[in-house]
């Protein structure tokens, strides 16, 4: 029987991304660089790392970050991992079956970031990292071992593999992190798995949250349920940890979808940029910043009494907005 082969021809639209290579430790590493038209000097830079078996092209097509970059004027880099023994793209974060790899992806991302900042007149201060799954685990690895490289991190559906860290421990310093994770994720379990025989043991999200909130000394918690626009009861609950004594934050978006970048009712790329944009350095006039005239008028408890005690608080601001917080220390 003859096979019928159909060629689907899709018109290619002129795009602003460049498909490039970067020599690191004798290996030509692929990456895609995207820059909006008329980008300004000292613009922010966002790295987006693909998942296991993914690619730079795949995550760029999937995540929607270029559209957000066009709106807010930042550059985007999509680096690509190397191939494991099965010819599958991966980031070397400590998987059980990649323990023999000597690929140093932390150093690769570090050198590529410095190169792009210099080559394209981008901001050294305002450089950020996000990623999906294995790319999210790269976020955590760098946050643990090279925290000063990025201003903030946004891992999506990721975790920490202790065996991938120096001396099997996270030597983290205070950094701001935004984790999006589904309770129905059947690849990277929300509760973690200390007995995983394929990827290797990994931490649950609650353990990660506790670890980073302690490092960052975050004693305030704001819990909110995002609107369920699709009316399918797949609610996303945000847990935003902060402190008046620190500019660091940890946000967790806990949702009911699975192992995915696509989450009901949420534009993930937009949520990530909203998180990153809080930490933009203000010493660059080309960066848009929010109105800094907002200030706290008073703090009340559930009975409407002014309070400074632990527990539930309602913060009332001069612009008429309010914010619910739960003080845990």
The pLDDT tens digits along the chain (329 residues) read 333 333 333 333 335 789 999 999 999 999 999 999 989 999 999 999 999 999 999 999 999 999 999 999 999 999 999 999 999 999 999 999 998 899 999 999 999 999 999 999 999 999 999 999 999 999 999 999 988 889 999 999 999 998 777 666 777 789 999 999 999 999 999 999 999 999 999 999 999 999 999 999 999 999 999 998 888 888 999 999 999 998 999 999 999 999 999 999 999 999 999 999 999 986 543 444 333 344 455 676 655 566 767 666 665 544 444 566 666 65
289: tokens are 């910043």
The domains of the chain, with CATH numbers, are: 17-282 (3.40.50.1820), 291-329 (no CATH)
Confidence (pLDDT) at 14: 36
Separation CA 65–CA 131 (nearest Å): 11
Interior CA angle at 181 toward 180 and 184, to 5°? 155
Separation CA 205–CA 186 (nearest Å): 14
Closest CA to 45 of 20, 93, 79: 79
CA 323 to chain centre: 24
Confidence (pLDDT) at 327: 65
């Amino acid at each position: 029987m003859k096979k019928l082969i159909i060629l689907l021809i899709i018109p290619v639209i002129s795009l602003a991304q460049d498909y490039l290579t970067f020599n690191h430790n004798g290996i030509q590493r692929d990456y895609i660089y995207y820059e909006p038209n008329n980008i300004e000097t000292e613009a922010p830079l966002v790295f987006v790392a693909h998942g296991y078996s993914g690619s730079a092209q795949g995550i760029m097509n999937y995540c929607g970050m270029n559209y957000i970059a066009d709106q807010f004027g930042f550059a985007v880099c999509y680096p690509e991992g190397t191939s494991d023994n099965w010819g599958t793209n991966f980031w070397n974060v400590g998987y059980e079956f990649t323990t023999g790899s000597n690929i140093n992806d932390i150093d690769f991302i570090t050198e590529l970031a410095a190169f792009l900042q210099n080559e394209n007149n981008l901001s050294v201060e305002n450089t950020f990292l996000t990623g999906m799954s294995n790319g999210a685990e790269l976020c955590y690895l760098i946050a643990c071992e090279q925290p000063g490289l990025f201003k903030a991190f946004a891992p999506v559906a990721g975790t920490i593999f202790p065996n991938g860290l120096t001396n099997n421990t996270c030597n983290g310093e205070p950094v701001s992190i935004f984790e999006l994770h589904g309770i129905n994720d059947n690849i990277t379990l929300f509760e973690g798995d200390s007995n995983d025989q394929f990827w290797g043991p990994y931490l649950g999200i609650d353990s990660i949250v506790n670890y980073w909130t302690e490092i960052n000394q975050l004693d305030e918690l704001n819990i909110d349920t995002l609107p369920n626009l699709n009316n399918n009861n797949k609610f996303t609950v945000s847990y935003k940890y902060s402190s008046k004594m620190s500019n660091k934050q940890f946000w967790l978006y806990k949702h009911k979808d699975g192992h995915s970048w696509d989450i009901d009712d949420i534009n993930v790329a937009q949520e990530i940029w909203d998180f990153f944009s809080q930490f933009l350095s203000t010493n660059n006039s080309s960066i848009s910043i929010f109105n800094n005239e907002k200030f706290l008028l008073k703090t009340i408890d559930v009975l409407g009494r002014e309070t400074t005690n632990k527990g539930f608080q309602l913060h009332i601001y001069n612009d008429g907005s309010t914010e619910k917080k739960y003080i845990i220390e």
